Chain A
Amino acid sequence: RKEVEQDPGPFNVPEGATVAFNCTYSNSASQSFFWYRQDCRKEPKLLMSVYSSGNEDGRFTAQLNRASQYISLLIRDSKLSDSATYLCVVNRGSYIPTFGRGTSLIVHP
């Protein structure tokens, strides 16, 4: 089993839709979690950290479920500009961060 797994998609949704991605991790000792966004031919950019109690930033909501070992990202009212690849990253202290392979989102008019 891969250490961090994501559904590669693509998720193809209309503007205004709500879409959610999950990311599962295998190491129960994982300590911190992040969502990044990567546009085509660009570097990943930090979208948001994921906190134990869940957190929201505008249209984006991140959740952590330690019991089932997954994190999620919910995007409400999707915009065309949300089209990108969303990467989940799992940290385990000072160890090397582990990236998922990314989930591709396409928002169409």
Chain B
Amino acid sequence: GAVVSQHPSRVICKSGTSVKIECRSLDFQATTMFWYRQFPKQSLMLMATSNEGSKATYEQGVEKDKFLINHASLTLSTLTVTSAHPEDSSFYICSARSSTGGNQPQHFGDGTRLSIL
């Protein structure tokens, strides 16, 4: 159980393109999903917390107009990197936590490796 699917796993595109990443909890409902970014050999960095039916909460320094988050249902959150530039190239990972309680563990998607040329 507790499977989180993230799609696509790899994206290579030109500078200026907008890229949409989907995160789905396949066998549980997730009121809260988290979006992380990780640069090579660095720690996971939380970008935003996505709550179903409400606006996402962004961490300091993360531009909400640049990284659009939509949590449309209890099983789906999307992150759109708008007008991506080479410095946005990174490993983006989502995670979901069951709605049953805040003390449940997170389960991560496989991650999306984004490369902007």
Contact = CB atoms under 8 A, between A and B. Distances in A.
Nearest to B113: A41
A69 B82 CA distance: 42
Interface stretch (A56-64, A73-81, A94-102): A94-102
Interface size of B as a range: 20 to 34
Contacts of A93: 102-103
Contacts of B107: 46
Contacts of A54: none
B103 A102 contact: no
Nearest to B32: A94
Contact of A97 (B2, B106, B113): B106
Nearest to B40: A41
B108 A44 contact: yes
A34 B102 contact: no
Nearest to B41: A40
Contact of B110 (A43, A92, A94): A43
A99 B34 CA distance: 12
A72 interface: no
B93 A43 contact: yes
B105 interface: yes
A42 interface: yes
Contacts of A46: 2, 105-107
Interface of B: 2, 6, 32, 34, 43-44, 46, 49, 91, 93, 95, 97, 102-111, 113
